[in-house]
Amino acid sequence: MATKDRRARKQAPEGGRRLPVTPGPRRGRREPAALPDTISWWAAFYRVIRRIPAGRVCTYGAVAAMAGHPRAARHVGYALAALKETGDGAGVPWQRVLGSRPRHRAAVTIKDPVGGALQRMLLEAEGVEFDDRGNVSLDRFGWFRSTPVAAPAKKARGAAPRKRRS
């Protein structure tokens, strides 16, 4: 009998009276919104990484900034993780991009021990030296261009008219 009372309370919250349900506006099926033209940041990242000379390293954040997309360091990592040896990713020296560390240092950030060892081996073959903790001195081996690589032009939105000063 107790379960019957509980069920009744769930169905009728106000002493046995059911609340009226007013239907909202019906939503018909609409066509999906057109996706905006997307700009592939990855091609810009790959252009910057291809310019890093042998024996030099750069950080994910610096690559993003030089590609014209500051604060997109994580996207650089996604782009490098998706590299293939054909197409856009052919010839990209992925091993020259390291994670930033304090005191102007960088380190291998690949969690996979085999991939991390491969990256370190490729860098050491280029002459990059690691310290006892596996860090690379950016003062000595860092590569940073002062001018960013031009990013693809974005579509201009309707520009607001300029206010004239009298």
Digit-coded pLDDT (tens) for 58-101: 999 999 999 999 999 999 998 998 887 767 677 899 999 999 99
Is the separation of the CB atoms in 69 and 41 below 8 Å?
Answer: yes
- Express each pLDDT in 96-119 by its tens digit: 999 999 999 999 998 889 999 999
The C-alpha R_g of the chain, in whole angstroms, comes to 28
Residue 20 has pLDDT above 60, yes or no: yes
- Looking at 1.10.10.60, 1.10.10.10, 1.20.120.1200, 1.20.1090.10, the CATH number of the domain 39-135 comes to 1.10.10.10
Q: What does the pLDDT read at residue 156?
A: 56
Helices assigned H by DSSP within 2-132: 2-11, 41-50, 60-66, 73-81, 113-125
Residue 92 CB neighbours (<10 A) = 22
